[in-house]
Amino acid sequence: MKKIYHILLIMLAMSFGLIACTEETPFSTATENDDPRILDPLFPDQVNGELPVVSNISRDANFSMTLTVTPADYTTVTWFIDGEEIQTGKEIDLALKAGTYHLKVTATTSIGKSTYREGLIQVNPLADDPWATEIGFERIITTGAKAQLYGNNLDKVNSIVIGGKTATDIAYTENGENSYIEYTVPEGLADGTYRIILVDNGGNEYGGNKVTVTSDALITAGSERTTANSEWVMTGINLNQIESFTFGGQTVSSFIRQSETEIAFTCPSLEDGEYTLTGRTTSGKEVMFYTTAGNITEQTVAVSSERVLWEGHHYVSWDLPDDNPNKTFNLIGKDVFASIKAGAVLSIYYSVNSADEYHQLRTTTGWWNDLPGTAVIEFQEDGVKQIQLTQEVLDKIQTEDGFLCIGHGYYVDRISVQ
């Protein structure tokens, strides 16, 4: 019996030894020579060159994310927001003010191999927060000049901070959906992009996205087309610095009007076609022209026999009170139509206001009577409405005090006749 017991003990010990020999102890096979990879989370692909939104949160929630990378033991993760390094490590948990932020995450191995992911963080304001939207070119500003911000709950704003400096002369104007605050941009800001901070009477700070400060003479509108031998009006900032333009081989240095925000001169006598426009300032710098792809120093301009009667970015909404200038578009006097011959075609170029769900354009006389032969149009995209200017239409404009564009949810961008 004792012998059998010893045999059983020996067999049991051998079985444990066999188990120990067959079990595999897990260990990493990755080395510092491997290429780094970000395994999780997956960032969506860009669409039409636009970065994807990788986090959409309210401003009372932190931006948090954890990255899984390989080779994990040899890789350092670095987080950048708006180009600034924020921290290192595989996890982030960060409070951000309302706004849109550019996120870049890099994974770099100990021998310098690197990969990255990019996307946008969208931090949304709460319902009662002061918040500034973007309407047009109001976020391109220059030091010491007046500027505007449009948005919601802006009557709560007591001060605006840009680049650590506080703006002055803040005034709120109630204008329905286009209510705004006007302010004087602080002096001493270098050219560049800054996040703005909106501060209420209690000292609470809210995000308002970004503004771009520039000292350049920058044309923002009116430079893409003109009519030969007619007044050419361009708008922008720092336009009082402009000394001359060169266009179609001719230099223009005599202006009809010139201010910080507008410049006007007579277009040279040229055949219809495309020409290059450049400009110089009194300090010898090149004039800049705004484009969505970035500012340029040479603008291609279409000269056309199409006569531009008005150009800008005028909002129209029937929701506004009768004394509001954006209730209608009425910026072309009936005297202008008195010089137009019957048979001409009026083109109204419009763009939608994305903040409005419904968009309608109607053309009337100053008495709000429809122009003969015209129809109300509804739309969801930018476009052009054309009107045949018959003698009946022209006479009605004269006898009923002018021309109006009415309706809701759109901008009048240009009106021309040909």
Looking at 124, 141, 162, which one is the last position of a domain?
124
Token code pair at residue 88 = 């290192």
Beta bridge partners of 324: none
Nearest to 346 by CA among 303, 397, 401, 410: 397
**Within a domain: 184:** yes
Average pLDDT value for the chain: 90
Last residue of a domain, one of 274, 305, 336: 305
Q: How far is it, in rounded angstroms, from Cα 43 to Cα 52?
A: 8
CA–CA gap between residue 121 and residue 81 (Å, rounded): 9
- The pLDDT assigned to 294 comes to 85
For β-strands 99-109 and 114-124, DSSP reports them as antiparallel
pLDDT the model gives residue 28: 56
Q: Is residue 72 part of a domain?
A: yes
Asked if residue 336 and residue 296 are part of one domain, the reply reads no
Q: Residues 199-246: pLDDT tens digits?
A: 999 999 999 999 999 999 999 988 988 888 888 999 999 999 999 999
Contact 238, 217 (CB under 8 A): yes
Core vs surface per residue 250-263: b (16+ CB within 10 A) or e: eebeebeeeeeebb
Q: How many residues does the chain have?
A: 418
Q: How many domains does the chain have?
A: 4
Distance of CA 266 to the CA centre of its chain: 32
Q: Are residues 203 and 264 in the same domain?
A: no
Q: Are residues 114 and 195 in the same domain?
A: no
Q: How far apart are CA 266 and CA 275, in angstroms?
A: 15
Domain boundary among 281, 305, 329: 305
Q: Report pLDDT for 20.
A: 46
Q: Are residues 340 and 275 both part of a single domain?
A: no
Q: Which of 13-22, 164-173, 393-402 has the lowest mean pLDDT?
A: 13-22
Whether 55 shows a pLDDT value over 70: the answer reads yes
CB 97 within 8 A of CB 123: yes
Asked if residue 327 and residue 409 are part of one domain, the reply reads yes
Structure tokens at 75: 């890789």
Long-range contacts made by residues 261-266, C-beta under 8 angstroms, separation at least 24? Answer: 261/235, 261/236, 261/237, 262/233, 262/234, 262/235, 263/233, 263/234, 263/235, 263/236, 263/239, 264/231, 264/232, 264/233, 264/234, 265/231, 265/232, 266/229, 266/230, 266/231, 266/232
User: In the prediction, which pLDDT does 354 show?
Assistant: 87
Q: What is the pLDDT of residue 48?
A: 77
Say how far apart CA 89 and CA 215 lie, in whole Å.
39
Cβ count near 138 (within 10 Å)? 17
> Is residue 25 scored above 80 in pLDDT?
no
CATH of residue 262: 2.60.40.10
CB 63 within 8 A of CB 53: no
30 in a domain, yes or no? no
Give the mean model confidence (pLDDT) for residues 38-51. 89
Res. 18 pLDDT band, cuts 50 70 90: very low
Of the pLDDT bands very low, low, confident and very high (cuts 50, 70, 90), residue 61 is very high
DSSP symbols for 113-167 = -EEEEEEEEEEEPPTTS-EEE--SSTTEE-TTSEEEEEEESGGGEEEEEETTEE-
123-133 pLDDT, tens digit per residue, is 999 999 999 98
In the three-class reduction of DSSP (H, G, I as helix; E, B as strand; rest coil), residue 44 is classed as coil
pLDDT value of position 402: 93
Q: Identify the CA nearest to 374 among candidates 399, 398, 345, 354.
A: 345
- As a whole number, mean pLDDT of residues 345-354 equals 93
Please give the Cα distance from 415 to 384 (Å, whole number). Answer: 9
Both tokens assigned to 282: 């009194």
Domain containing 293 equals: 218-305
DSSP 8-state code for residue 323:
T
Q: What share of the chain is helix, strand, coil (3-state, %, to 5)?
A: 10, 50, 40
